[in-house]
Amino acid sequence: MSLEGGCYCGNLRYETGGDAIFKGQCHCRECQYISGGNPNVVMGMPEAAFRYTKGAPQSFTRSDLDTPVTREFCGDCGTHILAKGAGMAGTVMLKAGTLDDPSQYGTPQMAIFLCDKQEFHAVPEGIPTFERMPG
């Protein structure tokens, strides 16, 4: 699968390939901050196949968490492109909304961190759900 995407203002572009390792919704409180209140819809893609084709991202890693993720985003418009975590080495968690064609995402295979889910969050019927990370 070949995918392209970028940020809202167009100053940050990427391409990636390979098959999605997973597709999911993350309802954790941190993702709610990043998304403006909703779960993040992500697809895990092989890090080796991902590259920025235009611009360079800004990044942020919280220093107060035991296992923080590093979030990469456009420094101009703030669009969140991906996250990388120590527990998912070799994988980038690409935000589905940044794809040029978000319909390429399809549907999530799981929903995680339902311990933080808000009443207004929708979870598709029939997918596996987890209170935290699947073990």
Q: Is residue 83 part of a domain?
A: yes
Residue 77: domain span: 2-26+42-100
CA dist 133 and 114 (Å) reads 9
Q: Is residue 131 part of a domain?
A: no
Q: Is residue 93 part of a domain?
A: yes
Q: Is residue 117 part of a domain?
A: no
Per-residue pLDDT of the chain (135 residues; tens, 9 = 90+): 799 999 999 999 999 998 999 999 999 999 999 999 999 999 999 999 999 999 999 999 989 888 888 999 999 999 999 999 877 889 999 999 999 999 999 999 999 999 999 999 999 999 999 999 887
CATH code where residue 63 lies = 2.170.150.70
Domain count, the chain: 1
How many angstroms separate the Cα of 98 from the Cα of each of 34, 87, 104? 14, 23, 11
Q: Is residue 110 part of a domain?
A: no
pTM of the full structure: 0.90
CA dist 62 and 19 (Å) reads 29
Return the residue matching tokens 């309802």: 27
Q: Is residue 63 part of a domain?
A: yes
Paired tokens of 103: 């319909």
